[in-house]
Amino acid sequence: MRDFWSKRNYSFESIPDLTGKVAIITGSNTGIGKICALEMAKKGCTVILACRNEEKTIKVVEEIKTATKNEKIEFIKLDLMSLASVKQFAQEVKSRYQELHILINNAGVMMCPFGLSKDGIETQFATNHVAHHYLTMLLLPVLEKSTPSRIVTVSSLAHALTFSKLNLDSISDPKAYDRRTQYSKSKICNILFTRELAKRLEIKGITNLYVNCNHPGTISSDLYRHLYDPKVGIMAWLSRLFFISEEDGALTQLYLATSPEVEEKGIRGQYYVPFGVPSTPRGEAAHQERPIELWKFTEDLIKEKMPDYEGAPI
C-alpha cells in the first residue's frame, strides 16, 4: 500500500523516441504488460506481444495499432507453461528479426492452486521463473548483437515475505506446496536470476546489455483472482482505496526498459521499486550463494526437459 504514496519519478512522457527499437513483452495482452506495449508503441517501438491467448491478443494488437497509428505491433504465440512453446517462440522471433533491443519478462501467475506445467514443473515456478530463464537464454545472442539493449524481469516485494530457504529439490512437490510461499520463492528467483545474469555479462565484458528487475507495486488488477474476487468484498474496497493503477504499475519497468538514465548511470543487476527508485533485495534474494545455485538448478532442469538444449550461451 505504501506504493500509493510514492513519488512518481518517471512518466509516460519521459519515454524517449523508440523508433528502430524492437521489444518483446511477455503477458502483454492485459494489465501492466499491455500498458507497457501501448506506451512503447506510442514512441515508435516495434512491439511483439508474447502471449498464450491468440484471440484475445490479436484484439489488443489491433487496439494498440488504432490508438498509436503504429503498424509495427504483432502477436507471436508464447505459452510459458510449455518449454517447447518457448523454444518455438524464440525460433520464430529469430527468423523474423535480426535485432532485439528490449525484453520485458512481465508475465506471471500468483498464488494459484497447485498444478504442473506441461513439463511437470510446478505452475508458479515454471511460469514466473523457468520459462523466462529459458526464453532469455535463447534470445541472449540477439540481445548481445543489438546492444545497447535491456532485459527487465518483473519480480515483487513478495520476495521478502518468506523466511524459509528455496529448497529447490522440493519445488514441484505437492506435499511441500503453499501457494503464498511458492509465489514468494518464484519472485526471489526473478531477483537471483537478474543478479547472476548481470554478473556473467560483466565477466564476459558485455557492459551495454542492462539487466535489471523490479517490483511494479501493489496493483489493482486480476492478478489477485486466486485470492479474492477483485470486484466484490472488503479486499475490492481496499484495492480501490490503496492499490495503484495499472498505469502507475507499469512505470518502474518502463523506466528500466526505456529511460536514458539506465545507460547514463550504468544500472545493472539492480532491483527497483515504484516509481523508478533503486532498492535492496531482502532475505534469500540477497544471499551470496543462491544466484549460482539457482542458475545451475534451472539449467539442469531445462536440459532434462529439453534434451537438445545446449545450455546458456554465457
Would you name the residues annotated as active-site residues?
A: 183
Higher pLDDT: 7 or 205? It is: 205
pLDDT of residue 161: 85
The answer as to CATH 3.30.360.10 being correct for domain 12-304 is no
CA distance 284 to 30: 30
**Which 8-state DSSP code applies to residue 270?**
-
Average pLDDT for the chain: 92
pTM beyond 0.85: yes
194-234, pLDDT tens digit by residue? 999 999 999 999 999 999 999 999 886 554 444 445 554 44
pLDDT of residue 228: 47
Q: Which of 129-138, 152-161, 237-246, 265-274 has the lowest mean pLDDT?
A: 237-246
pLDDT of residue 224: 47
The C-alpha torsion from 127 through 133 and 135 to 137, rounded to 10°, is -170
pLDDT of residue 164: 67
* Paired sense of beta strands 277-279 and 22-26, if any: unpaired
Specify the 3-state DSSP secondary structure of 50: strand
pLDDT of residue 165: 81
Q: How many CB atoms lie within 10 A of CB 19?
A: 11
pLDDT of residue 8: 77
254-295, pLDDT tens digit by residue? 999 999 999 999 999 999 999 999 999 999 999 999 999 999
Closest CA to 44 of 18, 74, 75: 18
Mean pLDDT, rounded, for 83-89? 99
* Paired sense of beta strands 46-51 and 73-77, if any: parallel
pLDDT of residue 242: 64
119: its cell numbers: 513439463
- Its sign, for the CA torsion 178, 180, 184, 189, is positive
Closest CA to 216 of 34, 19, 17: 34
Q: Which of 99-113, 146-160, 161-175, 197-211 has the lowest mean pLDDT?
A: 161-175
Mean pLDDT, rounded, for 90-119? 98
In this model, does residue 142 exceed pLDDT 60? yes
Task: Give residue for cell 488504432.
Answer: 66
Euclidean distance between the first and the last CA atom of the chain, given in angstroms as a whole number:
39
Closest CA to 126 of 174, 182, 166: 182
**Which 8-state DSSP code applies to residue 272?**
E
In this model, does residue 181 exceed pLDDT 50? yes
**Contact (Cβ atoms closer than 8 angstroms) between residue 248 and residue 187:** no
Task: Give residue for cell 540477497.
Answer: 286
At residue 51 the predicted structure's pLDDT band, cuts being 50, 70 and 90, is very high
pLDDT of residue 230: 53
The residue ranges of every structural domain in the chain are 12-304
CA distance 67 to 18: 17
pLDDT of residue 219: 80
Mean pLDDT, rounded, for 128-140? 99
CA distances from 294 to 101, 144, 155 (A): 26, 23, 15
pLDDT of residue 237: 45
Mean pLDDT, rounded, for 248-257? 97
